[in-house]
Amino acid sequence: MSTTTPRLPTYFISHGGGPWPWMKDEMGDTYAKLEAALADMPRQIGVRPRAILMVSAHWERMNFTVQAHPQPPMVYDYGGFPPHTYSVRYDAPGDPALAARVQGLLEAAGLPAGLDAERGFDHGMFSPMKAIYPEADVPVVQLSLKKGLDPAEHLALGRVLAPLRGEGVLIIGSGLSYHNLRAFGPVAAAPSRAFDDWLQQAVVNSEPAVRTQQLIAWEQAPAARIAHPREEHLLPLMVAVGAAEAEPGQCVYHENAFMGGLTVSSFRIG
């Protein structure tokens, strides 16, 4: 693998709900700010990635597992949406060689890792990617979370993946900065703002070593368990930070009236 390409940043993105890019008639401008922020990522990066490694909140395995399908199918892992959203396509190619490279990095670091040659793209991948690279012409490989959702383990995963940043691979953690499906709208305004204020302090305004410790202890943050009753949508942040652990963070998307009152954000590291 070439190591002459510029070292790419990493991202933690809020990926929105379900197949939103294919529901503009139904949703109006609800996702306009998020879509604009995602669509701006290629400009921010400045170079075309050779491939994307995507850690989605919507895939968990007992051990870290890498998608190895050369042309992954679609996984419609949502319910209650219009019929047409169960036939949408985002036909980006996979990259089995990158999958093998990721597995090799993990196993060399003592992290058991598997390959899955059948797994398709879930909506944590294809919904934001529709905005980032709408032509679906950049290869994408998904990497699972590990059950147990230990923040330290996922920071360690990011550290192991860091060399890929110099090989033209863009590492994206895809989740949501606030994810409590039972507390949306006005009732979520205060807790989502409190948790987002903590995220801004931890990710953007803290020294790297302090940031790492804060993320490990994220449950101590204000409104932490209101914002994330279960933390699968937060853990992709740990991977993105771990892969650029010594570098500064920047908020690249922020709004405080999303879906009727949520404060939500996305971050770039490096």
Mean confidence (pLDDT) of the chain: 95
pTM of the model: 0.96
**What was the pLDDT predicted at 2?**
42
Pairing of strands 64-67, 113-116: parallel
**What was the pLDDT predicted at 231?**
97
DSSP string, 149-216: --HHHHHHHHHHHGGGGGGTEEEEEEE-S---TTS-GGGGHHHHHHHHHHHIIIIISS-HHHHHHHHH
Cα angle at 155 between 171 and 174, to 5 degrees? 40
On the 0-12 / 13-18 / 19+ scale of CB atoms within 10 A, 96 is middle
C-alpha to C-alpha distance for 30 and 10, rounded to whole angstroms: 26
Question: Does the pLDDT of residue 84 top 70, yes or no?
Answer: yes
91 contact partners, CB below 8 Å, separation of at least 6: 71, 136
Say if CB 23 and CB 110 are below 8 A apart.
no
Q: Phi and psi at residue 24, in whole multiples of 5°?
A: -70, -30
Over residues 148-205, the pLDDT tens digits come to 999 999 999 999 999 999 999 999 999 999 999 778 888 899 999 999 999 999 999 9
105-124: burial string, b at 16+ Cβ within 10 Å, e else = bbeeeebebeebeebbbbbb
**What was the pLDDT predicted at 184?**
83
Query: How far is the CA of 228 from the CAs of 109, 118, 224, 225, 259, in angstroms?
Result: 30, 30, 6, 5, 17
Q: 38: pLDDT confidence band, cut at 50, 70 and 90? A: very high
Taking residue 53's Cβ as centre, other Cβ atoms within 10 Å add up to 28
Over residues 207-236, the pLDDT tens digits come to 999 999 999 999 999 999 999 999 999 999
Question: Does the pLDDT of residue 3 top 60, yes or no?
Answer: no
Say if CB 38 and CB 131 are below 8 A apart.
yes
Q: Could you tell me the domains of the chain?
A: 10-269 (3.40.830.10)
Length of the chain in residues, anyone? 270
- Percentage of the chain beyond pLDDT 70 is 98
Say if CB 57 and CB 174 are below 8 A apart.
yes
C-alpha to C-alpha distance for 12 and 234, rounded to whole angstroms: 9
